[in-house]
Amino acid sequence: MGKIGRVDVLRAPPGTRAALLGNEAIARGVIESGISVVTGYPGTPSSEVIMTLHAYRAHELGIYVEWAVNERVAFEITYGASIGGARSMVTMKAPGANVAADPIVSAAYGGVEGGLVIYIADDPGPHTTQTEQDTRWFARMAGLPTISPIDPDEARKFVKVAIELSEALKLPVILRSTTRVAHTVGDVVFGEATEPVKYRGFKKDVKRFVRAGMSWNRERHAWLLQQLRRAEELAVGKGLVSSEGSGEYCVVCEGVSCGHLKEAMRSLGEGEAEKIKVVRLGMVNPIPREWVKKELGGCSKILVLEELSPYLEVTLKAALHGLDAEIVGMEEGIIPSVGELNPAHVTAALNSFLGRPTEAAGTEVQDRAPPRPPPLCPGCPHRNSFVALRFGLAKAGYSPSKVPVFGDIGCYALGVSPPLEAIWTEHSMGASISMAAGLKIGGFEGPVVAVIGDSTFYHAGLQSLIEAVHKRIDLLVMILDNDIIAMTGHQSTPAWARTETGREARPVKIEEVVKAIGVEHVYIVDPYDIDKAIEVVKEAVKKPGVKVVIMKHPCALWEARVKGVKAVYRVLPEKCTSCMACVRVTGCPALYVAEDGKVRIMEEDCTGCGLCARYCPYDAIIRVERR
């Protein structure tokens, strides 16, 4: 035994056993399946595939692996690579698939030459996603074969399966995971690596790749349907569907629900598990209808275990229509329709299904602990930006609580919590600017503000800004530029001169883009210089048309990691009057109230921004150099 050291996820030999996160296992799958182009846009719970490829330097193995500006661009890059024969993968969270939907749907008609895997991570719960969106319906709408692994090791294997299916069917294949696969650590055993497969030729074929011809599109639609019928055969041939046991009572599972089921069946009494036939669907679109009829045709009762929506249940009810089986699941309330599935739900569903007494579910325990919604980090420059916005609006003569602030997707959305309570909406990538414009167009007369982060601005804010500028909307846009994609774990943005792989890049500067779009009033200020930032907001908000304030300061966590923390702040208890101004203005999680009723600072969490000291009326907070 002894020390094993770090396992090189990309280079370790076949047979290596390691404890990997689902997404890390997928990164290993990239190496095992000959993928040569990987791109995507960060989104929890999908980001660690590319982060792992970066951490272990996949580019040195001849693989292109870079973040793209958004999911649609990322998908189109992989699509272009794949029609030239390269094997590729694009990664995104479920809402990213909405952004990329247009090119993905058309790609089902054009098809691919090199295998193309679209990795989409769903988030039952939801833990970190705006909706409980179910990618399986999207897959059916687009007409793309979709496979869904049950655990990290199968996620690794399924990358290769997806590439094989993709090349056999000449269609992009969706590899779909959920949080409990993507963010679960499991024991994984490595397979053989495959050389990256790059460009193999691109033949001009307009019927296939030009979607302007309507009769061609009818032909391609017919082709797609034929390929999907072949996919049903391949699902069986490749063992993507399987069954175990026999009996009239049948349970259908998919993804992590199969893992919950296996353990729930062990907890049934002697002889009970033997009554159940388990049918496992690793391919969720299309469903192999003939096989399903054969396997489930003899069942009198069928329980369907799944998350997010009754997708499989509805599909099976249609496929098995006319047979005697009673099919139950989410639609009958046997398993929950909202939130994620857990083993207790599965056990309860099995008991109810088998007509056994169900143990009373444990009573919900009242949470006695004070709530801890995620705050902005200590030193977060967004906090300063929000404070500057509030005081700047006040100085300009507006009541800050009456000025609608349209937020966007990113860390700054955490400014919704007290005491900042800084945003009124957070909707979808880039929506801050267009929704703010919409309120004005709808007739709102006062000032409106849109707040958007740098990477969200590149991703989808640009077009919104063009629209607002073109229509001459009166609107204050604050771009919170922390020079990184922070919320998803610190990825590069188009402003970087060098990407994670060391690739030299041409920085695309926000101020240049904004000016080129035609914004006349552009301000750049460091929100750590809080008094100046307040003055800038005060001046900008009065200007006509679209004005942009770029609040520029690096992410505090990143800055602390790169530069270290040179000084922190400390409260002098003898000077603190317990007025709470520091806490109420900043809501910084490094501040707390000690038993003497006075404020203290957790110095190991403080990054030394000094905002609390700035708002202490009694000079009771001092700067302390770190030794």
Segment 318 to 357, residues that bind other proteins, using CB under 8 A? 342-344
18 binds other proteins (CB under 8 A): yes
Indicate which single residue of 141, 185, 441, 508 sits in contact with other proteins (rule: CB under 8 A): 185
- The first and second tokens of residue 493, run together, are 């943005």
Of 256-285, binders to other proteins (CB under 8 A) are 256, 258-260, 262-263, 266-267
Q: Is 448 helix (H, G, I), strand (E, B) or coil?
A: coil
Compute the least distance from the CB of residue 277 to other proteins, in Å. Answer: 18
Instruction: Pick between residue 147 and residue 588 the one whose CB is nearest to other proteins.
Output: 588
Which residues neighbour 369 within 8 Å (Cβ) at sequence distance 6 or greater? none
CB of 109 to other proteins, least distance (A): 35
| DSSP result, 582-620 | HHHHH--TTEEE-TTS-EEE-TTT-----HHHHT-TT--
Site for other proteins in 405-464 (CB under 8 A): 411, 414, 417-419
For other proteins, which is the closer residue by CB, 87 or 260?
260
C-alpha of 312 from chain center: 23
Residues 127-146 that bind other proteins (CB under 8 A): 127-128
Structure tokens at 178: 């959920």
Per CB under 8 A, does 186 bind other proteins? yes
In this chain, which of 325, 495, 583, 622 binds other proteins, going by CB under 8 A? 583
Per-residue x/- mask for other proteins, residues 519 to 548, rule CB under 8 A? Answer: ------------------------------
Per CB under 8 A, 151 contacts other proteins = yes
Phi and psi at residue 244, to the nearest 5°: -145, 140
**What residues between 475 and 494 interact with other proteins by CB under 8 A?**
487-489
Residue 588 interacts with other proteins (CB under 8 A): yes or no: yes
Minimum CB–partner distance for residue 45 and other proteins (Å)? 7
Contact predicate 581/541, CB 8 Å: no
Q: Is 373 in the site for other proteins (CB under 8 A)?
A: yes
42 binds other proteins (CB under 8 A): no
Q: Least CB distance from residue 573 to other proteins, whole Å?
A: 16
Q: How many residues bind other proteins (CB under 8 A)?
A: 73
Residue 206 lies near other proteins (rule: CB under 8 A) = no
Q: What is the CA radius of gyration of the chain?
A: 27
Residue 525's beta-bridge partner residues? 551
Give the shortest CB-367-to-other proteins separation in angstroms: 6
CA distance 394 to 361: 52
Stretch that binds other proteins, among 141-149, 175-183, 292-300, 608-616 (CB under 8 A): 175-183
Pairing between β-strand 521-525 and β-strand 475-481 as defined by DSSP bridges: unpaired
For the bound state, the minimum distance from the C-beta of residue 361 to other proteins, rounded and expressed in Å, comes to 9
Of 6, 204, 321, 402, the one binding other proteins (CB under 8 A) is: 6
Say whether residue 609 binds other proteins (CB under 8 A): no
Instruction: Give the SS3 label for residue 329.
Output: coil
**Does an H or E element contain 27, and which?**
helix 22-32
**Which of 17, 207, 275, 498 is close enough to bind other proteins by CB under 8 A?**
17
Q: Which is nearer to other proteins, 419 or 446 (CB)?
A: 419
Q: Closest distance between other proteins and the C-beta of residue 627, in Å?
A: 14
Measured from the CB atom, the residue of 70 and 347 that comes closer to other proteins is: 347
Run of H or E residues at 475: strand 475-481
Query: Under a CB-based contact definition with an 8 Å cutoff, are residues 158 and 175 in contact?
Result: yes
Kindly tell me which residue out of 124, 196, 375, 453 binds other proteins, with binding defined by CB under 8 A.
Answer: 375
Of 18 and 350, the one with the shorter C-beta distance to other proteins is: 18
CB 583, min distance to other proteins, A = 5
Note whether 4 binds other proteins by CB under 8 A: yes
Closest CA to 386 of 259, 533, 248, 604: 533
Kind of pairing between the strands at 249-253 and 276-281? parallel
Interior/surface letters 560-594, b for 16+ CB within 10 angstroms, e for the rest: beeeebeebbbbeeeebeeeebbbebbbbebbeee
Tokens 């000959």 — which residue? 34
Inter-axis angle of helices 381-395 and 530-540, to 10 degrees?
50
Per the CB < 8 A criterion, the answer to whether 345 and 353 are in contact is: no
Binding to other proteins by CB under 8 A, coded x per residue (else -) over 43-62, reads -xx--x--------------
Given candidates 69, 105, 580, 622, which one binds other proteins under the rule CB under 8 A? Answer: 580
Whether 467 contacts 437, CB under 8 Å: yes
Distance CA 70, CA 191 (A): 31
CB of 623 to other proteins, least distance (A): 21
Q: Is residue 246 involved in binding other proteins (CB under 8 A)?
A: no
Crossing angle between the packed helical segments 256-266 and 343-354, to the nearest 10 degrees: 60
255 near other proteins, rule: CB under 8 A: no
Task: Give yes or no for a contact between 528 and 584, defined as CB atoms under 8 angstroms apart.
Answer: no
